[in-house]
Structure 1
Amino acid sequence: MRRWRSSTRTERRKNAERHGHRGEALAALFLQAKFYRLRDRRFKTPVGELDLVTEKGGTIVFVEVKARGRYTDEALALGAVNRSRITRAAQYWLARHPGESGKDIRFDVIFLASRRWPRHLINAFPAI
């Protein structure tokens, strides 16, 4: 039976999504080992999705996870971070959790690459 191109794209998309979910799980474990408290995972909003929402020392940390096949792709991954989308999604999360409004917030990025230790970029970008 002949395979259609769309099914191949669908399979690639599913594989990429599974890879991303594994990366988020690894990043969550990594942060928990650093004594971050996991507040939310894959929080969906009308403006986008937050990979991880954590808390440490009274600061709410919104974490974007970027998993790449090679460590050298880190600069490209940082450029691919859609800061305005993440900031708007964070504002939505804060609106849904009014008890957290007095806390400081921060935006971090975690880079994951094969056979490398995760790299945690603290305060990767300011809120827009």
Structure 2
Amino acid sequence: MKAKDELGRRGEQLACDYLSQGGYAVVGRNWRCAQGEIDVIAERGGVTAFVEVKTRSGLRYGHPFEAITVAKLARLKRLSAAWCEACDEGGRPRRIRIDLIGVVAPPGRVASIEHLEGVF
């Protein structure tokens, strides 16, 4: 496995742990369809959050949030609609939002996590 892939998996796990500790129920990870992939789907308080996770080992190439473009946000919006359509009628969420989690995980050090709720 490539180091980049391992870093991404570590970041997603850290994000899921962070969400769980914050009272979220993680209901999906790496959900895929023809349009792409949603990293994490989590619920809390009647709201379903579709979470894009970006992980960096440091800030040399910028903050993780800098990698999330307007086009990526638009794709996440389409993906969240596709996920809702894939749910049966009774399982569809009433309230949804798109969140971002940025993880900076330097090798051998404690990671820092930032969570932006409801960016879209």
Q: TM-score, normalised by structure 2?
A: 0.83
Count of equivalent residues: 113
2:27 to 17, 34, 39: 39
Q: Go from structure 1 to structure 2 and tell me whether the alpha carbon gap of 1:71 and 1:82 turns closer, same or farther (over 3 Å shift).
A: same
RMSD: 2.0
Gaps of 5+ in 1: 1-10
Deviation track 1:32-75 (CA, whole Å, cap 9, x = no partner) reads: 00000011000011100000000010001000001012247225
Gaps of 5+ in 2: none
Superposed counterparts of 1:1-128, under 5 Å: 14-71=2-59, 73-74=62-63, 75-79=65-69, 82-98=72-88, 99-114=90-105, 115-124=110-119, 126=120
Rg larger in structure: 1
RCO higher in structure (CA 8 A, sep ≥6)? 2
Higher helix residue share: 1
Identity of aligned residues (%): 29
Q: Go from structure 1 to structure 2 and tell me whether the alpha carbon gap of 1:123 and 1:44 turns closer, same or farther (over 3 Å shift).
A: same
Secondary structure of 2:68's aligned partner:
helix
